[in-house]
Amino acid sequence: MRIVGLTGGIASGKSTVSNLFKANGIPVVDADVVARNVLKKGSGGWKRVVAAFGEEILLPSREVDRPKLGQVVFSSDSKRQLLNKLMAPYISTGIFMEILKQWAKGAKVIVVDIPLLFEVKMDKWTKPIVVVYVNEETQLKRLMERDGLSEEDARNRVMAQMSLDLKRSKADIVIDNNGGLNDLNQQFNKVLSEIRRPLTWTEFWRSRQGAFSVLGLVTSGFFVCKQLNINT
Ligand SMILES: CC(C)(COP(=O)(O)OP(=O)(O)OC[C@H]1O[C@@H](n2cnc3c(N)ncnc32)[C@H](O)[C@@H]1O)[C@@H](O)C(=O)NCCC(=O)NCCS
Ligand SMILES: Nc1ncnc2c1ncn2[C@@H]1O[C@H](COP(=O)(O)OP(=O)(O)OP(=O)(O)O)[C@@H](O)[C@H]1O
């Protein structure tokens, strides 16, 4: 199985690109969705986060008040690191389970959309790595417009991540999303044909089909050897 890593900065356009992959029949595992699920009321992640940050981060429904927790962690490095530490095991297990589900369904190529792919060192599990790049001005403008944030809050969120220039230098494929959606679509089509190229042998053995082929080979090898032993 080919596990494509999709990353970038906050509001650089990862979800927009993810939607293009989905529209073309490529399954996407979204780390933000996994992170949301592990913070649902009553879950293990929720309990640890409430124990560490207190009941003041809860809504009357006792679900986490996400904008409030965002305010807390995006204005303090130490609090963000604490949240990351508490949630990391739940998020990585959740992502692994989603990948496993796709493997069991027989998917040959999947995309894993992880904003913090490099920061949490999950880049070693994905190849190729696609970085959706924008310059800081476009990033801040799109972030402020989409989430209704002040410039200061938007800058805090951008600063909470590895710089996009550094991420770009670590990419196998860069999508420059400074232009409009037509431009993005054209670049996307090239990326799509790149990631749909035939699997390498290593990727093939990692797929469900490859694993069953190994099992089939081992089983028939066993019976052939047994037969040879009987006949000699
Ligand atoms: C702080 C929270 C509650 C704010 O929720 P909110 O709904 O406002 O934002 P959302 O989850 O949609 O995230 C939006 C974007 O913020 C960025 N972001 C989220 N968490 C972090 C973080 N810990 N460090 C840096 N950037 C982050 C990502 O680019 C993400 O795509 C939430 O982001 C969270 O639980 N973060 C910790 C989990 C995490 O690390 N998520 C990233 C997945 S790898
Ligand atoms: N090429 C583009 N032209 C104009 N607007 C765009 C373009 N690409 C994305 N956008 C807009 O920019 C905003 C951010 O994009 P998107 O939500 O895809 O980013 P993201 O990287 O997934 O963000 P996050 O890290 O917060 O999950 C959205 O409002 C989206 O509609």
181-208 pLDDT per residue, tens: 999 999 999 999 999 999 999 999 989 9
Cα(58) to ligand 2 centroid in Å equals 28
Provide the b/e sequence for 59-77 (b: ≥16 CB within 10 Å): eeeeebeeeebbebbbeee
| Residue 139 Cβ < 6 Å to ligand 2 | no
* pLDDT for residue 231 is more than 80: no
How many angstroms is it from 140 CA to the middle of ligand 2?
11
pLDDT beyond 90 at 6? yes
ipTM of the complex: 0.96
- Give the residue with greater pLDDT, 228 vs 11: 11
Average pLDDT rounded to a whole number, residues 146-150? 95
Q: Which of the ligands is closest to the CA of residue 184?
A: 2
Q: What is the pLDDT of residue 2?
A: 97
Select the more confidently predicted residue: 219 or 87: 87
The predicted structure's pLDDT at residue 220? 84
Per-residue confidence (pLDDT) for residue 16, from 0 to 100: 98
pLDDT beyond 90 at 230: no
pLDDT number for residue 210: 85
Span between the terminal Cα atoms of the chain, in Å:
41
pLDDT value at position 59?
97
Mean pLDDT for all residues in the chain: 95
> What digits encode the pLDDT tens for the residues 49-102?
999 999 999 999 999 999 999 999 999 999 999 999 999 999 999 999 999 999
- Rounded to an integer, the average pLDDT of 97-126 is 96
Mean pLDDT, range 38-56, rounded to an integer: 96
For residue range 20-36, list pLDDT tens digits in order.
999 999 999 999 999 99
**pLDDT for residue 232 is more than 90:** no
Position 157 pLDDT exceeds 90: yes
Tell how far the Cα of 223 is from the centroid of ligand 2, in angstroms: 56
**Nearest protein CA to atom 33 of ligand 1, as residue:** 70
Confidence of residue 135 (pLDDT cuts 50, 70, 90): very high
- Which ligand 2 atom lies nearest to the CA of residue 184? 1
The model carries a pTM of 0.93
pLDDT for the residue numbered 217: 84
Q: 17 pLDDT band (50/70/90 cuts)?
A: very high
